Amino acid sequence: MDENNAMYSLRELKQNAFDEACCAFATNHNMSEVARKMEMGEAMLRNKLNPAQPHKLYAIELAWLCYHSGDYSIHNVLYKDLGTVTVALPESSEEKNFIERTLMNSALGGELSGDAMQMCSAERLPRSVKNKTLAKAHAALGNLVLMISDLENRTTGVTPMLSMGMDFVVNGAPMPGLA
């Protein structure tokens, strides 16, 4: 019996967090623009994001909503207890090298540190400040994912094998037929 009560309270907490994330999403985005991109009516999209309405936001609609808006905050609310975070990769036509990505990460980390200092001295945290700070954190995570991807791309393929083989030979490894 206690398990059922615990499951219900967890479900209720998750539903409340989801409802709040949907309301915040509707407040922070231009619904007519997002609805046009999704080929859905603006009123229908608003109703699906409003917990007081009977319309439900289905999984595929949630995926399209996040894709077309670039905001994955609703996904993150759902996945938070699973220990995962959804990150939108920054759309950038310019390729940045590893050092530029590292410096960008330092800059974003500095901005987040400044926000944290302001939050420590504030008595309350308005939603607008929370949402701006979350946007900065997501930008930093996206940059880190691109940095990780760049590192993985540099260490896969033929080049690392050739350099390791060359190091092996140059450092005095015996070669068959030449020793």
Report the pLDDT value the prediction gives residue 156, as an integer from 0 to 100: 66
Report the pLDDT value the prediction gives residue 120, as an integer from 0 to 100: 87
> How does pLDDT run across 105-158, given as a tens digit for each residue?
899 999 999 988 888 888 888 878 887 888 888 888 888 888 887 777 776 665
Q: Which residue has the higher pLDDT, 25 or 6?
A: 25
Secondary structure letter of residue 83 according to DSSP: T
Q: Which residue has the higher pLDDT, 168 or 46?
A: 46
**Mean pLDDT for the stretch of residues 79-91:** 76
Measured between alpha carbons, how far is 45 from 56 in angstroms, rounded to an integer?
10
Please report which confidence band the pLDDT of residue 168 belongs to, taking 50, 70 and 90 as the band edges.
low
**Mean pLDDT for the stretch of residues 85-113:** 81
Helices 2-28 and 42-49: angle between axes, nearest 10 degrees:
150
Location of structure tokens 């009977």: 54
> For residue 169, is pLDDT > 70?
no
